[in-house]
A = this chain, B = another copy of it.
Amino acid sequence: MLKDELTALLDEDDSAAPESRIVRLLSERGAASAAEISRLSGLARSTISTALGELRRAGVVVEATHGDAARGVGRPASAFALNPKAGTCLGVHLSLAHVGVMVADVSHSVICEKTFALGLDYSPEAAVSAVRRAMRDIYTEQGLSLRALIGVGISFSGPVAPDGRIQRASIIPTWAGVNIRETFEPALQRPIFADNESNCSAVAEMTWGAAVGVEDFVFFTVDVGVGGAIVSRGRVLTGIAGGGGEFGHMTIDPEGELCRCGNRGCLELTASFAPALGVASRLLGRPIGLDDLIALALDGHVGCKRLVEDTATLAGRGLGMVGSVLNPGLILIGGRAALAGDLLLEPLARSYDRHTLIKRADTPEAQRTRIEFGRFTANNALMGAVALVLRRQGRLG
């Protein structure tokens, strides 16, 4: 079966045959021309040509409409992608009270996406049966075969240990200690890939967003919480227990307020938008959400502008510490903070530079840390859950 051939090629060792390297590359990148495959893999053009011939005869790879060709610049180069019939991926995002699912094929086409409300403190059982039902509905509606499903990627709003166990510090306290693999694998009967939402969002940026082709970057989200991810040589550094990239829980003030994680004075208590939203709501006498706050600030409301700037300055200080630890070449700012544009980015970057060791002014352009917005402000964790499967990252068990 085509799917078995595909997954065998996807899961071979690093030192594998050219066929396997090409299949993995196409799974990560979507479509690519032979020239791009050569540049990215280091394989000789003749080797690639032979291997692509084999893969096309086997039906694993097909000719694709190439992104660049669409621009109509010069004669379009042939591009290749994995055969969409060879496999599909299911992405799942488990958030505070909602579950999102997305189905995409291995040529990177999104087939369907749905979100449904499960209510606060929903149980693992409720999530599993909702996901299973949605999966069956989607595959039936779309006329897809479940046999071609190559894996399920799960994004969770909290640290996920390498064995799938959810750490105590998640935003859904009732899921602490639950094992994602043990919960979903028996019901879905497919390989399970999982990671926390910030790590998934970083994988989405790497696969389709602002970090395509970037092997090393830091992802830093500022929203009603602060989170992040570290990508090194194309892989997320998840840490020994899934706690890598938890920038929001750096202890800024050991005598500070209690955080939901059980520590005091965590960065996200002051540098997320949560306190600003409280102040704005009191100030304006009605509940103000993050989208409202940013819209008001962009509209020139002086109080809301100041709240955005001050949050950016506090977040930049925390990010400056991350800078002294990692000195990354690129920092992508994720979360809805991106909606504020330069109103947020400028004070954040200024504060970063003030509080980090390596200063912009001392450093030639090529060695400066670029701070930019990520591409996605919505759905990024769900897209990242699909990308986990395509990139074979975060596999459990």
Binding site for B on A (CB under 8 A): 13, 15, 42, 159, 161-163, 167-169, 230, 232-233, 237-247, 249-251, 254, 261-263, 317, 320-329, 354-359, 362-363, 367-369
Contact of A251 among B251, B326, B355 (CB under 8 A): B355
Residues of B within 8 A of A232 (CB): 232-233, 237
Say whether A246 contacts B325, CB under 8 Å: yes
New A-B pairs, 5, CB < 8 Å, besides A238-B327, A246-B324: A167-B357, A230-B325, A243-B323, A246-B327, A263-B356
Chain B contacts of A367 at CB under 8 A? 161-163, 240-242
Q: Which residue of B lies closest to A369 (CB)?
A: B240
Q: List 20 A-B contacts (CB under 8 A).
A: A230-B325, A232-B232, A233-B233, A239-B326, A239-B327, A239-B328, A239-B329, A240-B369, A241-B358, A241-B363, A243-B356, A243-B357, A246-B324, A249-B324, A250-B321, A250-B325, A251-B320, A262-B359, A263-B356, A322-B325
A269 to chain B, nearest CB (A): 13
Q: Which residues of B contact A246 (CB under 8 A)?
A: 324-325, 327, 357
What's the Cα separation between A168 and B322 when bound, in Å?
19
A368, B243: Cα distance in complex, Å = 11
Assess whether B324 is in contact with A358, with CB atoms less than 8 Å apart: no
Find chain B residues with CB under 8 A from A159 CB: 327, 357-358
Given the contacts A168-B359, A263-B357, A362-B167, A243 and B322 also touching, CB distance less than 8 Å? no
- Partner of A327 from the list B244, B317, B358, B363 (CB cut-off 8 Å) is B244
Chain B residues with Cβ under 8 A from A13's Cβ?
A: 42
Closest 3 CB pairs of A and B: A239-B327, A243-B327, A240-B329
- A325–B327 contact, CB under 8 A? no
Complex alpha-carbon distance, A232 and B249, angstroms = 22
> Which residues of chain B are within 8 angstroms of A167 by Cβ–Cβ distance?
357-358, 362-363
CB-based contact A245/B363 at 8 Å: no
Name which residue of chain B comes closest to A329, CB basis.
B240
Residue of B whose beta carbon sits closest to that of A264: B355
CB of A254 within 8 A of CB of B169, answer no
Known: A168-B362, A355-B263, A369-B240. A230 touches B326 (CB 8 A): yes
Which residues of B have CB within 8 Å of A244?
A: 325-327
Which residues of B sit under 8 angstroms from A326, Cβ to Cβ? Answer: 230, 237, 239, 244, 325
Among residues of B, the one whose C-beta sits closest to the C-beta of A367 is B241
Q: How far is the CA of A245 from the CA of B250 in the complex (A)?
A: 16
What is the CA–CA distance of A231 and B168 in the complex, to the nearest angstrom?
27
Does B324 lie within 8 Å of A243, measured CB to CB?
yes
A83 nearest CB across to chain B (Å):
26
Known contacts A15-B42, A326-B230, A326-B237; decide if A357 and B261 are in contact (CB<8 Å): yes
Cβ–Cβ < 8 Å partners of A237 in chain B: 232, 326
